[in-house]
Structure 1
Amino acid sequence: MTTRQRARQGWRRTVPAQLSEEQSARLRGLMEDPDTWVLRHAWDAYLLNGDPGRLIDPAELTNDHLVASLEWLRQQRHPLYRALEGGRRAPEGWLESLPLHRRLVELLHR
C-alpha cells in the first residue's frame, strides 16, 4: 500500500482509500493533535508504519511549509473525511474545525 499518487509534477502524498485500524487511529490522532504534523517525505513512514520519529511540531514549520500543509489539507478534505468519519464528502466547515487545521492557520498568521 502506498499513500502516493502520480501527479503532473511528480508524486504527491494522499490519504489512502483503505486504512487499517492502526493507520486510521494514527491519522485521527494527527488531525486532532494541534502539536504534531508530518512533512511530505515522512508521510509513508508515519501513516503506514507508525514511526513516531517522523512527527514534528508545527511551530517549526516555515511559512512556505504552513501554506503547503494547509493547501494539502484542503485538497484532501474529502478523503480525510471518508477515512475518519466514513462519509462521502466533508461538510462545510468540517476541515476548519479540526485542531490541527486551526493550529496551522494560527501559526501562519502569527
Structure 2
Amino acid sequence: MTTRQRARQGWRRTVPAQLSEERSARLRGLMEDPDTWVLRHAWDAYLLDGDPGRLIDPAELTKDHLVASLEWLRQQRHPLYRALEGGHRAPEGWLESLPLHRRLVELLHR
C-alpha cells in the first residue's frame, strides 16, 4: 500500500486510510516527538521500515520547509486523527495540541 497520491505536480505524501499497528506506532511517534520529522522523499520508507536514519531534527528545516510541513499537517489533520485516534474528524485544537505541531510553529516564529 502506498502512502502517496498522484497530484498535479508529482507525488505528495498522505496518511493512508488503513495502517498496521506498527506503522501507526511510527506515525504516532512522529507526532508526539517534537525533535523528529521525515522529509517527503523518505515518508513512505520510514513508515515501512522505521529506519531512524531517515529522521531529521525540525530545527534543520528552512522556513519554506517549516511552512510546507505545517500546511501538510493542516491538510492531513482528519486522516491523521483517523489513523491515530480512530475517529472520523479531528476536533478543534487536536492538531495544535500535538508536540510536533507546537515545535514547528515555535521554530517558524523564531
Q: State the TM-score, normalized to the length of structure 2.
A: 0.98
Identity of paired residues, percent? 96
Give the Cα–Cα distance (whole angstroms) in 2 for the partners of residues 74 and 14 of structure 1. Answer: 12
User: Residue deviations 1:9-58, cap 9 Å, x none?
Assistant: 11100001111111000000000000000000000110122111100000
Give the Cα–Cα distance (whole angstroms) in 2 for the partners of residues 59 and 99 of structure 1. Answer: 14
SS of 2:12 mapped into structure 1:
strand
Q: CA deviation at 1:84?
A: 0.2
Give the Cα–Cα distance (whole angstroms) in 2 for the partners of residues 9 and 75 of structure 1. Answer: 17
Aligned Cα root-mean-square deviation (Å): 0.6
SS of 2:90 mapped into structure 1:
coil
Give the Cα–Cα distance (whole angstroms) in 1 for the partners of residues 12 and 57 of structure 2. Answer: 21
Runs of 5+ in structure 1 lacking a partner?
Answer: none
Q: CA deviation at 1:77?
A: 0.3
Give the Cα–Cα distance (whole angstroms) in 2 for the partners of residues 58 and 98 of structure 1. Answer: 14
Name the stretch that deviates more: 43-52 or 75-84.
Answer: 43-52
- Number of equivalent positions: 110
Q: CA deviation at 1:71?
A: 0.3
Q: State the TM-score, normalized to the length of structure 1.
A: 0.98
Give the Cα–Cα distance (whole angstroms) in 2 for the partners of residues 90 and 9 of structure 1. Answer: 27
Runs of 5+ in structure 2 lacking a partner?
Answer: none
Give the Cα–Cα distance (whole angstroms) in 1 for the partners of residues 95 and 19 of structure 2. Answer: 19
Give the Cα–Cα distance (whole angstroms) in 1 for the partners of residues 78 and 8 of structure 2. Answer: 21
SS of 2:16 mapped into structure 1:
coil
User: Residue deviations 1:63-103, cap 9 Å, x none?
Assistant: 00000000000000000000000000000100000000000
Give the Cα–Cα distance (whole angstroms) in 1 for the partners of residues 75 and 39 of structure 2. Answer: 16
For 2:22, the equivalent position in structure 1 comes to 22
For 1:105, the equivalent position in structure 2 comes to 105
